[in-house]
Amino acid sequence: MSALEVENLGFAYGAREALQGVGFRTAPGRFTALLGPNGAGKSTLIAQLTRLYELQRGDIRVAGFSLRERPREALRRLGVVFQQSTLDLDLTVEQNLRYHAALHGMPRVVANERIAQELQRQHLAERGRSKVRELNGGHRRRVEIARALLHKPSLLLLDEASAGLDPASRRALNEHVRALCRTEGMSVLWTTHLLDEVQADDDLLILDRGRLVAQGRAGELSAPDGDLERTFTRLTDNPVAA
């Protein structure tokens, strides 16, 4: 079964078409990059995936559950790290995670166990008692990943998760999430407008002006010369983002 299936998705803001006939599947245990220049429709797609916006045309399935027919089951299998951080800077890492677990009705004993496991997995075990304000940007993002994974979703969605980080932290975060796929079999959808966050072995989706213009293994899409930047520019008519 696919980790995520998007079927003939269409969305318009009034008369303005933001997504048209978008369809793809992502494989379990894989790092899938959704790449597109500004305005391509990435945020609109994410907003529908997370049910911030109602679906207009088409459907989305998470681990086989349709967002139209079984929205609760679908959302339960989805963990999301949004572009804008929603951590409370004046609470500790553990307090932030406990608060989230309580909001989701997780019994306290279960929550404490899951929090300890997740902090370990995100290499943050020593930072549980630190205030979020004391952490650097990369660590804060990893706290958000821990939080997104508390309810054990099968798909982790990261929306421009590296935005605002310096280049070294950006690379480290990207590597960290790849390692979750490799060693833990996590399915990931990573949206970005930055080509250097894509590697040859990734499954790649390229979105441009509301349409999916390419999908496949990144290394194959950039053949014959292996130059993904040239492929991206050709497909989207867009000079590459810095």
CB-wise, 16 or 129, nearer to ligand ATP?
16
CB-wise, 53 or 99, nearer to ligand ATP?
53
Site track for ligand ATP across 65-94, x = CB under 6 A: ------------------------------
Contacts of 106 (CB under 8 A, 6+ apart): 114, 150, 151
156 forms beta bridges with 79, 188
How many helical (H) and strand (E) elements, i.e. helices and strands, does the chain have?
8, 10
Q: How far is CA 110 from CA 76, 106, 113, in A?
A: 17, 7, 5
Site track for ligand ATP across 173-212, x = CB under 6 A: --------------------x-------------------
212 φ/ψ sector (left φ>0, alpha ψ -120 to 50, else beta)? beta
For position 16 contacting ligand ATP by CB under 6 A, the verdict is yes
Phi, psi of 196 (to 5 degrees): -75, 0
For position 13 contacting ligand ATP by CB under 6 A, the verdict is yes
Site track for ligand ATP across 30-69, x = CB under 6 A: ------x-xxxxxxx-------------------------
Residues in the site for ligand ATP, rule: CB under 6 A? 13, 16, 18, 36, 38-44, 193
